[in-house]
Amino acid sequence: MIIIVSVVLSVIVLTSIYAFFRIAPQVGGKVDNERVALFQKSPQYKNGKFFNLQVTDMTMPPMHVMFDIMTQGAKKDPKATILSKSFNRSDYTTSNQKAKIAWFGHSSILLNIDKKNILIDPVFSERASMFSFMGPKRYAYTHHVTVNDMPPIDAVLISHDHYDHLDYETFMKLKFRVNRFFVPLGVGVHLEEWGIPKEQIIELDWWEEIDFDDQIKLVFTPSRHFSGRGLGDRFTTLWGSWIIDGSRQKLYFGGDSGYSKSFKEIGEKYGPFDLALLECGQYSKYWTDIHMLPEQTAQAGTDLNAKNVMPIHWGKFTLSIHHWREPVQRFVKASSSHQYHVLIPELNTSFDVPDSTIISPWWKE
């Protein structure tokens, strides 16, 4: 009898989990046959999946490592509220000669270039998770930014569909305020599921270029990572990085990536860059192929031929078991042997590019 009850309960639990992933809106949409037919034209697509340009180990870490993340990760969070400034949207309603950047923690960036406001990987929810009640919770800031704090946005760029880069709650508010969304191949299925008109979504493959307007060109470039939001959908949409090439300045947004030969190829083809925003955090010795160690981030900046490098993907969520300060500390130390300037702004504050004086050690406070 006990065995029968256990089996029944297990079936109920598994059925409930399956049903959640099928119907929960935050999981997003499913790639249909029409899109698969389009994917067949991509050199990155084969046998129903997208692939990285070089062999990438996606072996899941041992169970004890996953246990460490769940039990020890929170111990590496900040012990006190992080001091952050209030965001000044008026900085983005005036005409600027130089590109202007604001960083909201992790990988969320607001860029003003050639009088256009571009929001990149915005996550303004409390958690980087499919659930509102569990999953990685943002650190306590004195000031958290919301969609309502944003100036008029001309476009949104997305690097890939993971929850810490593509956030359902944020998009449900953004969809009424933005007319153009630039995303990797396949990621449009999620936006369409959330009510964004198909004609407002532009999907790009690696190395594809598109004119944003007569002054700005966007290029979608490779990264070494993966995609997936639900059960069995890993690699079904593409991932990557962005080049924003303006009339006066050129920026690179790296998204998530393990160290890759693509950095040097991108630098040779499109560099130099006035600023490279590169992931620096949520790494582990168990998944170095898909997330860089800080020392690799430092080298990637040189590979890209960047004049200034800003570390992102840290300072807001704990997605590994290193201390929250460790990424930036290791990156600053490793960058001392490179020729570029390191830029580390205070959270929510704006600065012009280039500005080699922007390095505020706020994380030490």
Tens of pLDDT, residue by residue over 189-216, are 999 999 999 999 999 999 999 999 999 9
Of 53-57, 114-118, 140-144, 282-286, the least confident: 282-286
**23 confidence band (pLDDT: 50, 70, 90):** low
**Rounded distance between C-alpha atoms, residue 230 and residue 193, angstroms:** 14
Cβ–Cβ under 8 Å, residues 121 and 63: no
pLDDT score recorded for residue 93: 77
**Rounded distance between C-alpha atoms, residue 333 and residue 331, angstroms:** 5
Average pLDDT over residues 117-121: 98
User: Checking phi first, is residue 235 left (phi over 0); if not, alpha (psi -120 to 50) or beta?
Assistant: left
Q: What is the dihedral of CA 48, 313, 230, 23, to 10 degrees?
A: -130
Domains of the chain: 31-364 (3.60.15.10)
Taking Cα atoms as reference points, which of 81, 77, 80, 107 lies closest to residue 323? 77
341 phi, psi to nearest 5 deg: -90, 145
Taking Cα atoms as reference points, which of 68, 70, 81, 190 lies closest to residue 138? 81
Q: What is the mean pLDDT of the chain?
A: 90
**Rounded distance between C-alpha atoms, residue 23 and residue 38, angstroms:** 25
Is the Cα dihedral 331, 332, 333, 339 positive or negative? positive
Task: Enumerate residues 6+ apart whose C-beta is below 8 A from 208.
Answer: 219, 220
**9 confidence band (pLDDT: 50, 70, 90):** very low
pLDDT score recorded for residue 286: 86
- pLDDT tens across 247-299, in order? 999 999 999 999 999 999 999 999 999 999 999 999 988 899 999 999 999 99
- C-alpha of 325 from chain center: 19
Average pLDDT over residues 96-122: 95
218 phi, psi to nearest 5 deg: -110, 140
What count of other Cβ atoms lies within 10 Å of the Cβ of residue 247? 13
List C-alpha distances in Å: 223 to 19, 179, 241, 264, 327. 32, 26, 6, 12, 20
296 phi, psi to nearest 5 deg: -70, -35
Q: Write out the H or E segment, with its range, that includes residue 250.
A: strand 250-253
Instruction: List strand residue ranges (DSSP E) for 27-146, in order.
Output: 45-46, 49-50, 99-103, 109-113, 116-120
